[in-house]
Structure 1
Amino acid sequence: MNFFLVFQNKSYHKEKSGGYLWAPQKNEKGQTFHHWTDMKKVKKGDIIFNSYDTEMLSVLVAKEDCLERERPSSLDDLKLWHKDGWMILVEYIDLVRPINYKDYMEDILKLQGEKYAPFNKIGRGNTGYLFRVSLELAEYLFQILEDTNGITKTSLVLANKQIDIEIIEDLEKELKSTISLEQTEKELIVKSRIGQTLFKKALLKQGNKCRLCGVTDERFLIASHIKKWSQSSNDERLDVNNGLLLCPNHDSLFDKGYISFDGDGTILVSESIDMSTKVFLNINGTMNIDMNERQQYYMEWHRVNIYKPR
């Protein structure tokens, strides 16, 4: 896996809308530069940190190896560059909290390496498009992403491998063709299949027990998405912060909206559940979970869209 940084000051919105990166092969004088030709080095699964107006707004994951493609029509009005070029199809993973490179520039300059580095010695972006990122700098940027946005390296590695995306897309096609199944049966199949993917393994690495009751037998732990996978983007489906390990009882309650969690992790229990049912299902108002900022973001979606207070 290789890492890059792309400066998209003029083209970010158009490229993001189209899900690609594009650079010319040559300028009008027939000249070419490493920050264009390095596009050919990008392979499926590589990670690209972006910069727009000095900030990282998105992290990009290459869906395919670099392709030789003419300039997309969406860039025509910018009147930039030669027509022949290089294209990379990418998945844009947007940040909830943009990262200003200037806040971390002292360390970035120490870690970026000397050749083909994205920033010059005074901390400004070098003139050009795509630049190589050293492993040391990549690890540093991953740590910043986790601290500020709750996006972990594990979730990005999963996105690189495209394993969950392919399983989900294949499953969606399979279920659409299976007309005889009821919707609830389809959802059970989806949950069962996804529970066997690396999404669950990634959650297990963070703590192999039910977040509420402490059940540790992995056979009975379910990787439950906080924001439903059917309504999540591909990167949200792979984000381990969009998941809770729960036992079957608590997973069912959470999935159907009878429990949720407040911003500080305190359990919210629907008033429609009577006391005896609470006892049998092992839920009470004193339960709570720890959440980072990214998990709080997903949980707010659950409270608004899934939770049933009454």
Structure 2
Amino acid sequence: MELPFDVGALYNRKEQIHAVFGGQQQGGISTPKEHPLVIAFTGEAGVSHGYHDFWDDDEVFHYFGEGQVGDMKYVAGNRAIGEHVKDGKTLVVFQMMGKGRPYRYLGRFMCLSSYVQPDTPDREGQPRSAIVFRLRSLEASLGLPASEKDQAEIDAAFDDVGATSARRETEVRTKQRLFRERLIGVEKGCRLTGIEDLRFLRASHIKPWADSSHSERVDGENGLLLAPHADLLFDRGWISFSSSGQLLISDALPCDMPHRLGLNLKKQLPIGRFSRKQLEFIEFHRDVIFLGTRTLEASAIDDDLPNGVSNFDKA
């Protein structure tokens, strides 16, 4: 089925999804009557109830079904997901970005199976049995390339072992995809530019691939979504973050680069808080990768300088 959506792009649920295909405009699963389509929405709604959708180590997406109170039933939207192949319908998944905000298209999926997870809290906090679907993505990627440094380190690793087997290369690519899949559940967009469309972002490891353990390489909390120019600065240690989430700028960064790259330090978007685990990785980046110490709070912005260039840049 031909769909007017690009993987990684953002869409308004009412105007760009339901206005085109119909289906229920509320809830986590929509089943348009006039189109062979099942639309599933994943996001943070279940977190407040004690559960959340997740990617396992085999790149299978575990998606919790609908039903807010009591045991989930294999009816309506839940049945539609479980039987979409038999019914000849395409299953697509969108990611919720927050109340009143657009939805990110994650692409087409196939339901492999389902299972029942007991003792899952419902909306009222009571334990119940939840239906969880095992979904496989049919997309080659999420429209999200690896960071420049990650890719260079992976290529170098292949070179070090000589002629790398096809199996080994497949394993590495799989880990890279799994990292990206998990990362978008942790980070919504670039903290420096505010961009949330995955087509214009890179998946950047905080603790570099070469320095990470096997588990750290696929840990979504060991990553940031960054616009390409911000990814370049972060990968090469020209910027980092403090434990309070404050942007740090290296003395090694040429004074005119923020302005030339379009990063307006005078009107920078709030960086936001990091999770406890992210802060552990950021500490490594700050201690090992970062090239110097300087905070925006400690700098005085001179309005007579070019846009984005501050007094400390004159030193």
Both structures adopt the same fold (TM-score exceeding 0.5)? no
TM-score range, shorter chain: 0.3 to 0.5
Structure richer in helix, relative to its length:
1
Provide the TM-score with structure 1 as the length reference.
0.39
